Amino acid sequence: MLNKLLSAFSSSKVYLEENKYSSSSYIEVMPSPDKVILPLQQHLGPILEPKVKQGDNVKEGQLIADSEAFISAKLHSPIDGKIIAIENRPTSLGINVRSIIIEAKDKNSAKGKDNKDKSSFPVLFKEHDLKISSEQIQSLVKEAGIVGLGGAMFPTHVKLSPPKDKKITTVILNCAECEPFLTCDHRIMIEAPKHVLYGLAFIMLAVKADNAIIAIEENKKDAVSLLKKNLFILKHNIFTKIKIKMLPSFYPQGAEKNLIHACTGKELPSGSLPHDLGMIVSNVHTSYAIYNSVVYKQPLTSRVITVSGDVKNRKNLLVKLGTSFQDIIDHCGGLSPGVEKVIAGGPMTGTSVSNLDVPIIKGTSGIIALHSVTEAIEENECIRCSRCINSCPMRLMPNHLHNFSKQKKYDRCKEYNISDCVECGLCSYVCPARLDHLRWIKLSKKLILLQSKK
Amino acid sequence: MENTKPELKVSSSPHIRDSFTSDKTMLYVMIALLPAMLCSIYFFGIYALIIYLVSILSANICESLVNYLFYKKKTFFSASGTLTAILLAMVIPPTIPLLILALGNVFAILIVKHCFGGLGKNIFNPALASRAFLQVSFPMQITAFIPPLLFSFEGWFSLSPAIDAVTRATPLVEKASLSGVFFGNISGSLGETSALLLILGGIFLILTKVIDWQTPVSYIATVFLLAFFIPGTEPLYYIFAGGLIIGAFFMATDYVTSPLTKRGKFVFGIGCGVLTVIIRTFSSMPEGVCYAILLMNAFCPLIDRFTVLRTFGHKLKKR
């Protein structure tokens, strides 16, 4: 209480209501769905080309789509089944994407009967001697089709292959999970700490880093103590180079640039990537997936998500990629009455979906249902309270960017550094006049990008 | 189980909002002013209550008319109009005739606020600009200060202004006691007298993060430090006397008319402090807060230009 009062005199950090309802729920394995929809673009990069055609039978883990481009990620089938269609389908990102639709071989295989699913959480732990070259790790990660599972979906094997002239000193494991409601990263750390630590070790070996920092928020003290204990137990020399750093739990602690600044005090220059400062930042879930791909040669076919908000049962689920939102919500008991929004991801940066038949993709970290839509439909006038300016993690001036965007003055937007915006959403969140700054900033950023490409 | 598909709303992120609204901001400021308002009624009688009510009523009627005629909106209660009315009522003497008060409110709402662009766009603080207008238009009535009517039975309950009471000059002209200026048991404008309650209200606003601490602290500190250089003044008495406290916490911190960044607010406070001391010392007027803040309001866009934040990841650019 006293801290809250005294925070009026310190730098304005915005503390959102965390609503981490599912932070003590064990990860439940959801039974395999009857049908999966797999968009051909679940990564940053060009769309994939299918390697199968309609009518083919596929096995679980089989490669079904690939691309020639370096910045891309392979796609594998999550279930045994038959390809029934390859066509455009709506996705949770709001656009229609060409997708492969697979129907399971034996339907209702898990409902009511013994779960024949081979996946479990976590996979049994196997020690690895860590005598593996960085090229081997990069190729195993590439074969598994792993992308950044925090939401950005950047192909991980590209991240683990930094340019030859950049010396990497530190790997930062992003365990912040600052978004309200989401608890999947937290549960992975509690239920699979050894996997996470080994995954981090593989990352360090792949980029040849000297040390690593596990950056974790204060609201996850149970995970911190488990990780510390396991670091002590694991015998290899590399684990002595990993340090744990506790950070205050405010939003957006997990934003990459702010995280690097909080861990090392260095400011990432605008337009450059972390490897320019000798750092690599990776998500916890990605680290778990890397362990699976290196030790068990398992491709990325499932992921942990958090289903929270106004659903009957709030859970952390291990789901197959391509499962539809409707199936997952039904598994959690259905929506509470009066739900007005279903969000893919977290409430600050996620996208709201218009129908529940969209699939889970690699970057979907949660399904949040909200009943009372607290944003206002009517916008009032700006009263120059400067809350947006005080809360921006990039120290931008959102009210000016909003006005310039509305007036289409893109030169002035660039003057005020609009492209440095990380789209965290705090400007719209804090505005007392309910102005939607982020909507206009996102629009202008896209238009400026299109203009510069011409 | 077949439940009907819910109608889902789709919009851009973020999908949650802080519970703070513009109206809530103004409500918090009114709550902060409430102790000082009640104290002023305690000191100056029932007529003080009538002043507040007439002020609020005239401001709301004016706002409703303007909203209906110019914006085609039907509103009955305007939080910003009410706040302007209360602040105006607190900076004029408790003997003001009601018609002049109503005229002041109409000037504040219609001319200073709406003719300059409406809510969020006015350059000058409406309450202070209106007070300046009344000062030049009705110089006699605006300086008819009286001591508190506490011990005069018929005076306290009188429904008409106590203009026939013996006027006494404000503590800036005629020296009063230090405890007097701090607790408010002295003559002065209606709401300015009790420094203690105004400071408590100001601290409440800072702790609830409605205002930033930079402006009031820099303003009062500047005046305090400069007071050491003025012969014949005691610095502590100097900051509590007159309208400095209400100006620093409630007028200079008005969102619309002050700079955007914290550094800018700091500069704004220092500028107000210097101007206040200059006007108090070298001009023929005893009180400088009103004009100091109005002059700094005019400098606000310039201050904004020179206190732009350095974006994360960029070097500081020379403007």
At A388-415, the pLDDT tens digits run: 999 999 999 999 999 999 999 999 999 9
Would you call the peptide bond into A252 cis, given omega within 30 degrees of 0 as the criterion?
Answer: yes
Per-residue pLDDT at B191 exceeds 90? no
Report the range of poorest mean pLDDT among A89-93, A355-359, A363-367, B284-288.
Answer: B284-288
Looking at the predicted complex, does its ipTM rise above 0.90?
Answer: no
Asked whether B230 and B277 are in contact (CB, 8 A), the reply is yes
Is residue A431 helix, strand or coil? coil
Q: Smallest Cβ distance to A340: which of B8, B13, B118? A: B8
Contacts of B209 in chain A (CB under 8 A): 8, 12
Per-residue pLDDT at A84 exceeds 80? yes
How close A438 gets to chain B, by Cα (Å)? 8
| C-alpha B217 chain-centroid distance | 16
What's the rounded mean pLDDT across residues B31-37?
A: 93
DSSP A324: B
Residue B314: CB atoms within 10 A of its CB come to: 16
Report the range of poorest mean pLDDT among A143-152, A369-378, B209-218, B244-253.
Answer: A369-378
Tell me how far apart the alpha carbons of residues A40 and A93 are, in angstroms, rounded to a whole number: 13
- Subunit contact A389:B22, Cβ cutoff 8 A: no
pLDDT at res. A4: 64
pLDDT digits (tens, 9 = 90+) for B209-218: 899 999 999 9
Per-residue pLDDT at A286 exceeds 90? yes
**Token digits of residue A25:** 């729920």
Per the model's pLDDT, the better-predicted residue between A291 and B234 turns out to be: A291
Per-residue pLDDT at B26 exceeds 90? yes
- Subunit contact B13:A349, Cβ cutoff 8 A: yes
Q: Smallest Cβ distance to B119: which of A16, A381, A393? A: A381
Q: Assess B6–A contact: CB distance below 8 Å, yes or no.
A: yes
For A35, list phi and psi in degrees, rounded to 5.
Answer: -145, 140
Tell me how far apart the alpha carbons of residues B120 and A421 are, in angstroms, rounded to a whole number: 25
Tell me how far apart the alpha carbons of residues B309 and B319 are, in angstroms, rounded to a whole number: 12
Contacts of B207 in chain A (CB under 8 A): 5, 8
Q: Assess B17–A contact: CB distance below 8 Å, yes or no.
A: yes
pLDDT digits (tens, 9 = 90+) for B196-207: 899 999 999 999
Residues 174-213 of B with CB under 8 A from A: 206-209, 213
How close B131 gets to chain A, by Cα (Å)? 22
Q: Assess B249–A contact: CB distance below 8 Å, yes or no.
A: no
Per-residue pLDDT at A282 exceeds 80? yes
Contacts of A261 in chain B (CB under 8 A): 312
pLDDT at res. A115: 45
Q: Assess B306–A contact: CB distance below 8 Å, yes or no.
A: no
Tell me how far apart the alpha carbons of residues B230 and A99 are, in angstroms, rounded to a whole number: 80
Of A166, A185, A187, A168, nearest to A176 by C-alpha is: A185
How close B96 gets to chain A, by Cα (Å)? 31
- Subunit contact A399:B260, Cβ cutoff 8 A: yes
Q: Smallest Cβ distance to A381: which of B5, B120, B260? A: B120
Is residue A279 helix, strand or coil? strand
Residue A233: CB atoms within 10 A of its CB come to: 11
Tell me how far apart the alpha carbons of residues A313 and B130 are, in angstroms, rounded to a whole number: 59
- Subunit contact B21:A356, Cβ cutoff 8 A: no
Size of the A and B interface in Cβ pairs below 8 Å: 166
Per-residue pLDDT at A375 exceeds 70? no
How close A7 gets to chain B, by Cα (Å)? 8
Tell me how far apart the alpha carbons of residues A338 and A247 are, in angstroms, rounded to a whole number: 37
Tell me how far apart the alpha carbons of residues A264 and A268 are, in angstroms, rounded to a whole number: 11
What's the rounded mean pLDDT across residues B103-129?
A: 93
Name residue, tokens 């766009």. Answer: B121
Tell me how far apart the alpha carbons of residues B202 and B210 are, in angstroms, rounded to a whole number: 10
Is residue B35 helix, strand or coil? helix
- In degrees, rounded to 5, the angle at the alpha carbon of residue A85 between the alpha carbons of residues A81 and A88 is 130
Contacts of A382 in chain B (CB under 8 A): 120
pLDDT band at residue B230 using 50, 70 and 90 as cut-offs = confident
What Å distances lie between residue B163 and B44, B47, B158, B250, CA to CA? 12, 11, 11, 28
Residues in chain A, how many?
A: 454
Residues 22-61 of B with CB under 8 A from A: 22, 24-25
Residues 242-261 of A with CB under 8 A from B: 257-258, 261
pLDDT at res. A94: 86
Per-residue pLDDT at A116 exceeds 50? no
Looking at residue B72, its amino acid is K
Per the model's pLDDT, the better-predicted residue between A372 and A424 turns out to be: A424
Phi-psi region of A15 (alpha: psi -120 to 50; beta: other; left: phi over 0): beta
Asked whether A438 and B14 are in contact (CB, 8 A), the reply is yes
Per-residue pLDDT at B161 exceeds 70? no
How close B65 gets to chain A, by Cα (Å)? 19
Q: Pairing state of beta strands A170-175 and A279-283?
A: parallel
Closest-CA residue of B relative to A385 is: B255
Closest-CA residue of B relative to A330 is: B1
Tell me how far apart the alpha carbons of residues B68 and B48 are, in angstroms, rounded to a whole number: 30
How close B188 gets to chain A, by Cα (Å)? 31
Q: Assess B11–A contact: CB distance below 8 Å, yes or no.
A: yes
Q: Assess A439–B contact: CB distance below 8 Å, yes or no.
A: yes
Asked whether B301 and A410 are in contact (CB, 8 A), the reply is no
- In degrees, rounded to 5, the angle at the alpha carbon of residue A342 between the alpha carbons of residues B2 and A349 is 165
Q: Assess A340–B contact: CB distance below 8 Å, yes or no.
A: yes
Q: CA torsion sign, B223 to B225 to B230 to B233?
A: positive
pLDDT at res. B192: 79
Q: Assess B314–A contact: CB distance below 8 Å, yes or no.
A: yes
pLDDT at res. A113: 42
pLDDT band at residue A1 using 50, 70 and 90 as cut-offs = low
What's the rounded mean pLDDT across residues B6-10?
A: 82
What's the rounded mean pLDDT across residues A54-78?
A: 92
What's the rounded mean pLDDT across residues A20-43?
A: 90
- In degrees, rounded to 5, the angle at the alpha carbon of residue B101 between the alpha carbons of residues B100 and B104 is 85
pLDDT digits (tens, 9 = 90+) for A293-326: 999 999 999 999 999 999 999 999 999 999 999 9
pLDDT at res. B2: 45
pLDDT at res. A338: 84
What's the rounded mean pLDDT across residues A282-297?
A: 93
Is residue A213 helix, strand or coil? strand
For A65, list phi and psi in degrees, rounded to 5.
Answer: -155, 145
How close B222 gets to chain A, by Cα (Å)? 19
Per-residue pLDDT at B195 exceeds 50? yes
Q: Smallest Cβ distance to A351: which of B9, B13, B308? A: B13
Q: What is the CA radius of gyration of chain B?
A: 21
**Token digits of residue A160:** 């683990």
**Token digits of residue A154:** 């950047």
pLDDT at res. A97: 93
